């Protein structure tokens, strides 16, 4: 799979076995929170190895 394929087709994680189908979705009286962040890959690897 190429990066462009991921950009065009990805909608959920894990990419090759998403937990839910692609939308569209309709949410009524729902609250949700989306968090997007950037991190240093080396720091993330070190943090994952600790636990």
pLDDT tens across 7-43, in order?
888 888 888 888 888 888 888 898 888 888 899 999 8
pLDDT given for residue 23 in this prediction: 85
Number of domains in the chain: 1
Backbone phi and psi for residue 15, each to the nearest 5 degrees, phi listed first? -55, -45
Cβ pair 40, 51 in contact under 8 A: no
What's the token pair of residue 49? 């190895």
Cβ pair 22, 11 in contact under 8 A: yes
In terms of residue numbers, what domain contains 36? 3-50
pLDDT given for residue 21 in this prediction: 87
pLDDT at 51 over 80: no
pLDDT given for residue 18 in this prediction: 87
What's the token pair of residue 16? 């090759």
């Amino acid at each position: 799979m190429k990066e462009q394929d991921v950009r065009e087709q990805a909608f959920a994680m894990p990419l090759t076995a998403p937990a839910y189908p692609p939308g569209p979705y309709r949410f009524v009286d729902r609250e949700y929170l989306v968090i997007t962040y950037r991190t240093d890959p080396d720091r993330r690897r070190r943090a994952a190895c600790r636990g």
